[in-house]
Structure 1
Amino acid sequence: MKNTIIGILFFLCVHNIYAHREKTYYLQGKVGETELAIKIDEYGNDCVASYFTQNDLYNHLLEGVILENGQINLISKYWDPVKKQNITKDSVQLIEKEKNVWTGTWTYENKEKIAFSLKPIDIEKLNHPYFEAIKKYEVDPFTAYRTKDVKFKKGKKQKISKGACIRKMTDPVTGISFFRIINSRKYKIQADSINNKLIANHLKMINTKYSCVYLGSNGEYSIDYEVTFLNQDFISFTTNTNRSCFGIKGSNATEYHTFKLIDGIAPKLEDLFWFGEQPQPQLSSGEYKWMQYRYKVFGPKILEILTSLYPEKINPTEAIKCNYNSVKAWQFPIWKLTTKGLYLESKTLTNKKCDDTYWSIIPFENLKSFTNPNYNFTK
């Protein structure tokens, strides 16, 4: 039988499904000489807490209850294979005595008790090296506190397109790498805003590593990236994430990301390419008019273009297993920009092995008459 971490994970899963998280507290202070930060999530009368110390940035988990007087009682356990029972490792009693002042008692396995006090984490006072990024892109106080001493190491530069370069940056402690865009005034790439977005994402990745790997050894989290497009207006990149949190069966995820350089906002595909009549209406993803556009205009037009470009892939004989010659396969693709053009990944709904349509790239030249006039992808 594994230690109590499995029970806590089950608790988290159940409450994510059946309960609404009412409030989250982000607190920091000292227990004896140990500086720590703790995050407490309320689920009705139940709660789950994560904490780390200045000497051990990996998550330690606690679970507990909230009493009628507002006191929070938390415990952590481990399984003793000799006694064949759960042993309480730490227990914590904590209450907000006055606004923003929390006091309590920390009891260790050896019964030693230490009184302590905590206060909310104030990111304004952390002297965080990337304060602008954490403020603008909503990095939570727990992550901000955990990464307040991060020092990224510069890696190699990589040229993506004419005048467009990125640089690899690595956190040497966790080994998590991501990238930054190098400003280029010659080619009008001003990347300060998007780099703050990338920094914020990098900090969140580091926090995920510490949250996913239990006590520094049990579990794994890693992420790789590939930048597929970069010009003066947009960046597209792919991330591949592998995780096996707390040693539980792992999972892999591939995601496509596209952002505007000027503000770090992710555009909709309709912001870049429009196949309907003018003037173009303002559509929100998922609404009725957007769905009708995707069904009646977008899907048929994409199939028409791909059929002219890749007849050997779309013809009925070759496409019978994957239904690439069906409008439905192209109504709701996931997408990214590449140096060769717009990549659309089919969602066939019949065979997931068909989703990775590596060939389905529409060159920007073929999209000129459908491209937002504010952007030029063929420079």
Structure 2
Amino acid sequence: MFRHAIALLAAFTPCFTLSLAADANEAAPAAKVYDGSVGSSPIVMSLERTDDSLNGNYFYRSKRFDIYLVGDAKKGALLLNSPITDDKISLKPDGSGYAGSLTTAKGKTFPVRLRPVGPDAARAAPVEAPDDLDLYERVRLAGLTLKPEKTETYAGKTIRWHVESMSGNRMFRVESGYAAPVMETINKSLSKIQWANVSNYFGCAGAEGGSGVDASDVENPFLSDAYVSFGINESWSCAGAAHPDFGMEAHTFDARSGKELTLDDFLKFGKGPVPSEDSPGRSDYLSKTFAPGLVALLKRFHPKEMTPKKDECDYSDPEVWNYPAWRLTEKGLYVGASFPRAARVCDNPKWSTIPYSALSEAKPQLK
């Protein structure tokens, strides 16, 4: 869910990059991310400035959890505080960086020194990290590694689990059962997914310290000769967010090419081509054609569950199927409903699977 429905990361407390463009009166350096220390503890800080307002984050390298900052720029000084920890930071220009102090909620004060990160800082991140991570996020991942763990076999195909020890995040890689070039392509995607979720883990700080990510559990994958598919069940409560949340992130790959697939590759309703995800007609297609068509299909195979009942989840409402979570299973295509917050307990019911026979009516290649 962090990467899809939120496009996943929108659910987290925002992670800002530094853009402190100097104006005529204040000499702010052009660096985007700072490396430095609070007392003897190494930190990394990023800030974003809009006029005299500041937003940003910093993390201690020993823990890597984000601490959100807000503040103001006044007469050349940066005055910041954290709504999460109640830390207060005062900084003034010092050469190419900043120097100042941090005062904790308990009144302890420590010196702060910041310098722009070096030009090679981004290269210290894992080479498999997603390309869309910003410099601050890449610096946060620097030095982390994945440890290979046990192998498992599904349908005659072997996978091996890999874990990142600080976050405990686990993801599998495919080791046998498919052509080598296909496995290489799929495994590169799996690595990017894992590192994105490790970044999310540290980017979602909990209100009581540590991470606000309560779970990020990969289900046992579905491995067929044609597809590799799996879901990740996630729950989180990031400090500063209005509510805890949960959801499912899922991925499906073509086992003949390694390409990641979309739901449009399996379900199509209406006449004519399906509007692309970034086209103006996409929203109308989903609400007026796709969701009603999906409801009709689910009523065909799950008439009891799709019959509205008083004071219970109404799965006959097309609106809850506009953006379904989905994955492939042994029994068919699973689709998950998405309800408004007050009824989130209704999300992703266990029964909402469409058999492959129904899909092959429209997609003969799935037989």
- TM-score, with length taken from structure 1: 0.68
Deviation, structure 1 residue 331: 5.6
2:90 maps to a residue whose letter is: S
Residue 91 (str. 1) matches residue 96 (str. 2): no
Residue 199 (str. 1) matches residue 165 (str. 2): no
Q: Secondary structure of the residue that 1:273 maps to in structure 2?
A: coil
Map 1:328-367; keep pairs closer than 5 Å: 330=321, 333-346=324-337, 353-367=345-359
Residue 368 (str. 1) matches residue 365 (str. 2): no
Number of residue pairs matched? 337
> How far apart are the structure 2 equivalents of 1:321 and 1:112?
55
1:341 maps to a residue whose letter is: G
Residue 66 (str. 1) matches residue 65 (str. 2): no
Question: Cα distance 1:94–1:162, how it changes in 2: closer, same or farther (>3 A)?
Answer: farther
Question: Cα distance 1:185–1:94, how it changes in 2: closer, same or farther (>3 A)?
Answer: farther
Residue 251 (str. 1) matches residue 244 (str. 2): yes
Map 1:197-236; keep pairs closer than 5 Å: 197-213=189-205, 217=209, 220-222=212-214, 223-231=216-224, 234-236=227-229
Aligned to 2:169: 177
Aligned to 2:53: 46
Aligned to 2:234: 241
Aligned to 2:6: none
Cα deviation, 1:185-233, whole Å, max 9, x if unaligned, reads: 6456723344333333433433444344469946642322214434466
Map 1:1-379; keep pairs closer than 5 Å: 23=19, 25-29=32-36, 35-60=42-67, 62-67=69-74, 72-74=78-80, 90-94=89-93, 102-107=96-101, 116=113, 118-123=115-120, 126-128=123-125, 130-131=126-127, 133-134=128-129, 136-163=130-157, 165-174=158-167, 176-184=168-176, 186=178, 190-213=182-205, 217=209, 220-222=212-214, 223-231=216-224, 234-246=227-239, 251-260=244-253, 267-277=261-271, 280-284=273-277, 287-288=280-281, 291-292=284-285, 295-296=288-289, 298-314=290-306, 316=307, 321-324=312-315, 330=321, 333-346=324-337, 353-371=345-363, 376-378=365-367
Is the 8 Å Cα contact of residues 17 and 56 (structure 2) preserved in structure 1?
Answer: no
Is the 8 Å Cα contact of residues 356 and 366 (structure 2) preserved in structure 1?
Answer: yes
The percentage of counterpart residues that share the same residue type is 18
The structure with the largest alpha-carbon Rg is: 1
Deviation, structure 1 residue 323: 4.5
Question: Cα distance 1:26–1:202, how it changes in 2: closer, same or farther (>3 A)?
Answer: farther
> How far apart are the structure 1 equivalents of 2:205 and 2:319?
41
> How far apart are the structure 1 equivalents of 2:82 and 2:210?
17
Higher strand share: 1
User: Alignment RMSD, CA only?
Assistant: 4.4
Question: Cα distance 1:340–1:286, how it changes in 2: closer, same or farther (>3 A)?
Answer: farther
The farther-off stretch of 181-190 and 147-156 is 181-190
> How far apart are the structure 2 equivalents of 1:23 and 1:204?
23
> How far apart are the structure 1 equivalents of 2:335 and 2:84?
48
Q: Secondary structure of the residue that 1:159 maps to in structure 2?
A: strand
Deviation, structure 1 residue 145: 1.7
1:66 maps to a residue whose letter is: A
Question: Cα distance 1:155–1:333, how it changes in 2: closer, same or farther (>3 A)?
Answer: same
Deviation, structure 1 residue 253: 0.7
Q: Secondary structure of the residue that 1:57 maps to in structure 2?
A: coil
Cα deviation, 1:34-68, whole Å, max 9, x if unaligned, reads: 54321112243121333334444344555432246
Question: Cα distance 1:188–1:360, how it changes in 2: closer, same or farther (>3 A)?
Answer: farther
1:340 maps to a residue whose letter is: K
Is the 8 Å Cα contact of residues 226 and 237 (structure 1) preserved in structure 2?
Answer: yes
Question: Cα distance 1:57–1:353, how it changes in 2: closer, same or farther (>3 A)?
Answer: closer
Cα deviation, 1:270-319, whole Å, max 9, x if unaligned, reads: 233323345x35444674466247524x44543444344334444x5879
Is the 8 Å Cα contact of residues 234 and 259 (structure 1) preserved in structure 2?
Answer: yes
> How far apart are the structure 2 equivalents of 1:78 and 1:287?
39
Question: Cα distance 1:35–1:368, how it changes in 2: closer, same or farther (>3 A)?
Answer: same
Q: Secondary structure of the residue that 1:190 maps to in structure 2?
A: helix
- TM-score, with length taken from structure 2: 0.70
2:115 maps to a residue whose letter is: L
Is the 8 Å Cα contact of residues 187 and 232 (structure 1) preserved in structure 2?
Answer: no
Q: Secondary structure of the residue that 2:333 maps to in structure 1?
A: strand
Structure with the greater relative contact order (CA < 8 A, sep ≥ 6): 1 or 2? 2
Name structure 1 gaps, 5 residues minimum. Answer: 1-12, 80-85
Deviation, structure 1 residue 151: 2.4
